[in-house]
Amino acid sequence: MKDIYSGSLTRLAAVDAQEMGKAYAEWNRDSEFKRLLDSDAARLHSAKAGADFFKKILDEAPAYNPFFSIRALSDNRLLGDITLEVLHAWNGRQAIVGIAIGERADWGKGYGTDAMKTLLRYAFNEMNLNRVTLNVFEYNPRAIRSYEKAGFTHEGRLRAALLRDGKRWDLLYMGVLREEWLALNSAR
């Protein structure tokens, strides 16, 4: 059986709370990173607060929700993280995926798409899910393109869900079904 954690540019690995806390403290200093990532008001956290936050997630999250770090295959550098939150293990078998690539210099290089593809293979082949869902802000075209490349389809939008920089923005919903992913990957 092949290595399910590696793509062509990145690999998925375990999270070390200290390391991730420190990394997020750095990445959050670029407010664009934070504003692309989530809807909370951009705020600066210390490395220690970050480490505590991640330690709590690792200790308390249900065992079947994986939380991976994304590392570059070339030099093992920590690039970001990717998580799956399983909703309804018994019904619908779907999960919500969240991904972040931290450094601006690492954006637009294919790392996110590569990691997402690996994660989808894990979701469908190791966790046997039926669908994976994500949401993304209208003002994040790079991410939207990346998700489309990884196999996600547009499913809808929550209109005017976000207010930022004085403007209202939609929250887009995208999803990929097991059959779609299988068809995409056997065609390769």
- Is residue 131 near other proteins by the rule CB under 8 A? no
116, two tokens: 């997402």
CB of 155 to other proteins, least distance (A): 22
Q: How many CB atoms lie within 10 A of CB 78?
A: 18
- Is residue 3 near other proteins by the rule CB under 8 A? yes
Radius of gyration of the chain from Cα atoms?
A: 16
CB of 112 to other proteins, least distance (A): 19
Number of residues that bind other proteins (CB under 8 A): 28
- Is residue 60 near other proteins by the rule CB under 8 A? no
Nearest CB to other proteins, comparing residues 16 and 52: 16
- 62 CB-contact burial (10 Å; exposed 0-12 / middle 13-18 / buried 19+): exposed
Nearest CB to other proteins, comparing residues 31 and 76: 76
Check residue 102 and report its DSSP letter: -
Please name which of 145, 138, 19, 37 lies closest in space to residue 82, comparing C-alpha atoms. Answer: 37
Task: Identify the residue among 7, 9, 10, 15 touching other proteins (CB under 8 A).
Answer: 15
CB of 177 to other proteins, least distance (A): 14
- Is residue 14 near other proteins by the rule CB under 8 A? yes
Task: Identify the residue among 25, 36, 42, 58 touching other proteins (CB under 8 A).
Answer: 58
CB of 63 to other proteins, least distance (A): 7
Query: What residues numbered 79-118 form the site for other proteins, per CB under 8 A?
Result: 89-91, 93
Q: What is the maximum span of the chain, computed from C-alpha positions, in angstroms? A: 51
- Is residue 62 near other proteins by the rule CB under 8 A? yes
- 10 CB-contact burial (10 Å; exposed 0-12 / middle 13-18 / buried 19+): buried
CB of 59 to other proteins, least distance (A): 9
Check residue 151 and report its DSSP letter: T
H or E element that contains 33: helix 31-37
d(CA 10, CA 111): 6
The footprint of other proteins (CB under 8 A) covers: 1-5, 11-17, 58, 62-64, 66, 68, 89-91, 93, 124-128, 182
